[in-house]
Amino acid sequence: MDSINALLEHPSPFGMDINEMRELRFKAVKGSFEHHYSNNKVYRKICEKYGVTPDDIGNNEDLLYMPLLASDFFKELSRAKDPNDIIKSASVPKEEIVTYFTTSGTTGRPSKYPYNRKSLGIINKSNAKIFYHMADFRQGDYILMLTPPPAESKTGLVQGMYQCLRELLKDDEQIEFGIKGGEVNFELMIDMVSSIEGRTRHLYGPPFVYNALADYMLQNDKKLELDKESKAITTGGWKKVEGEVKREQMYNKMKKTLGIDRKNIRDGLGLTDIMSVILECGYNHKHVPPWMHVSIRNTKDLTKEVELKKPGLIAFISPLIDSYPAFIITGDMGKKSYEDKCECDLNGPTIEYLRRASGMESRGCAIVLADALKAMRNV
């Protein structure tokens, strides 16, 4: 825990010395591995199958041997008839579990993750630190979330961000929501942002809402001039928007209507399996927080990493979560753009999300899993 605190409380976690960062992160990850190995029967069994014990994890390179859990594993566990299955995969006593977060997932099958109070607290802190250091969000700033309020949406995109902002801003009076009762009211959004004075105004929401807002403003000849320090955070998937416009076109529309520069539009990669976010810097590279270990794995052999800038499966290891082993192999393709230092001068690795490895490109005429599930849902 000391190493996690040292990382989280560092005055400049994204700028800290790379060797110090590696050392602290390794200690945090190893500690987390020991905890789950000792306290999670299921994870212990998995480690035994692969013949890995905490003694085998001696340095950063050894992290490759830590057994990873597929996102899909949690989906399948969540579907299991025996509700205790989720508990079986927890690493803390049942009484400590205070909530389950559910993610919808790209295939439409939800996953359920158990959380204890300690893990929730530390995750909120981590996300708040990310927004503080990467997006310059400060106490006293104003945030308009282009989403429904948490009472109307259970998604990680809304719930997770709301909790993180509360941690960061210390109260929620400065947070407003642009979508209420399922209604998107662009006029109201513009009014809300325009009426704020003397505070730095930030926006947060999925790209398709930004796109629709920008279109509305262009059509109705409306214009806003956000502040010099304002950030527009996009998160939650580009698929809907990219069918209509190219990403850069949308950024240009945002510049015209919201008066926000490209360098202040930051895309966030939401990691719903570990309730975390990875944010872009001003050069639009997504920075992995120092307390998290990310590696890009060989698609045929998960115990091997691919080279820098080569595509592979994204794996996240988060030592922040006590309640389940957040050692996840995702179904997402990505690559590392930088290992030690980004062109923005911050330290640590940056990653690029490429696409969901859905097998959609499967050659042939057999229906692929995602399409079959879609067909099943449409009935």
Out of 18, 64, 70, 344, the only residue in the binding site for other proteins (CB under 8 A) is 70
For 323, the 3-state DSSP assignment is coil
- Pairwise CA distance, residues 341 & 18, whole Å: 8
- Which of these ranges, 74-82, 123-131, 204-212, 261-269, lies near other proteins under the rule CB under 8 A? 74-82
Q: For other proteins, give the closer residue by CB, 171 or 301.
A: 301
Shortest distance in whole angstroms from residue 273 CB to other proteins? 12
Dihedral pair phi/psi, residue 229, rounded to 5°? -90, 0
> Does residue number 23 form part of the binding site for other proteins (CB under 8 A)?
no
Inter-residue contact 280 to 266 (CB < 8 Å): yes
Q: What is the nearest approach in angstroms of other proteins to the Cβ of residue 81?
A: 7
112 strand-pairing partners: 102
Closest approach, Cβ 360 to other proteins, in A, equals 8
Nearest to 26 by CA among 68, 65, 67, 57: 57
Q: How far apart are CA 268 and CA 284, in angstroms?
A: 10
CB 110 to other proteins: min, Å: 15
- All residues at 6 or more sequence positions from 91 whose CB lies less than 8 Å from its CB, including other chains: 35, 36, 39, 40, 43, 322, 323, 324, 325
Assess 83 for contact with other proteins (CB under 8 A). no
Residue 257 beta carbon to other proteins: minimum distance, rounded to whole angstroms: 25
Q: Which is nearer to other proteins, 51 or 182 (CB)?
A: 51
Distance CA 211, CA 207 (A): 6
**Residue 272: CB minimum distance to other proteins, A:** 15
Least distance in Å: CB of 364 to other proteins? 3
* Residue span binding other proteins (CB under 8 A) among the ranges 257-265, 274-282, 310-318, 338-346: 310-318
Between 103 and 347, whose beta carbon lies closer to other proteins? 103
* Out of 38, 61, 299, 339, the residue judged to bind other proteins by CB under 8 A: 299
Residues with Cβ within 8 Å of 135's Cβ and at least 6 positions away in sequence, in order, are 202, 231, 233, 266, 279
Size of the site for other proteins (CB under 8 A): 50
Asked whether position 88 contacts other proteins by CB under 8 A, the answer is yes
Q: Among the candidate windows 17-25, 84-92, 94-102, 183-191, which touches other proteins by CB under 8 A?
A: 84-92
Centre a 10 Å sphere on the Cβ of residue 45 and count the other Cβ atoms it contains. Answer: 10
d(CA 13, CA 348): 9
Q: Beta strand pairing status for 232-235 and 201-205?
A: parallel
Question: Is residue 301 close enough to count as binding other proteins by CB under 8 A?
Answer: yes
Q: Does 84 bind other proteins (CB under 8 A)?
A: no
Cβ proximity to other proteins, 264 vs 323, nearer residue: 323
Least distance between other proteins and beta carbon 320 (Å): 21
Q: Which residue type is seen at 76?
A: E
Q: Which of 85, 114, 90 is nearest to 36 (CA)?
A: 90
Stretch that binds other proteins, among 82-90, 127-135, 161-169, 186-194 (CB under 8 A): 82-90
Site membership for other proteins, residue 311 (CB under 8 A): yes
**What is the DSSP code string of 207-229?**
HHHHHHHHHHHHHTT------TT
Interactions with other proteins, residue window 319-378 (CB under 8 A): 329-331, 333, 355, 357-369, 371-373, 375-376, 378
Using CB under 8 A, pick the residue from 46, 130, 146, 157 that binds other proteins.
46
Q: Choose, by CB under 8 A, the member of 57, 66, 68, 130 that binds other proteins.
A: 68
Least gap, CB of 103 to other proteins (angstroms): 15
CB atoms within 10 A of CB 248: 9
- Look up tokens 């190893």; give the residue: 30
332: alpha, beta or left, given left = phi > 0 and alpha = psi -120 to 50? beta
Rounded CA Rg of the chain: 21
Neighbours of 290 (CB within 10 A): 28
Binding residues for other proteins, rule: CB under 8 A, are 42, 45-46, 49, 68-73, 75-77, 80-81, 85, 88-89, 299-302, 311-313, 329-331, 333, 355, 357-369, 371-373, 375-376, 378-379
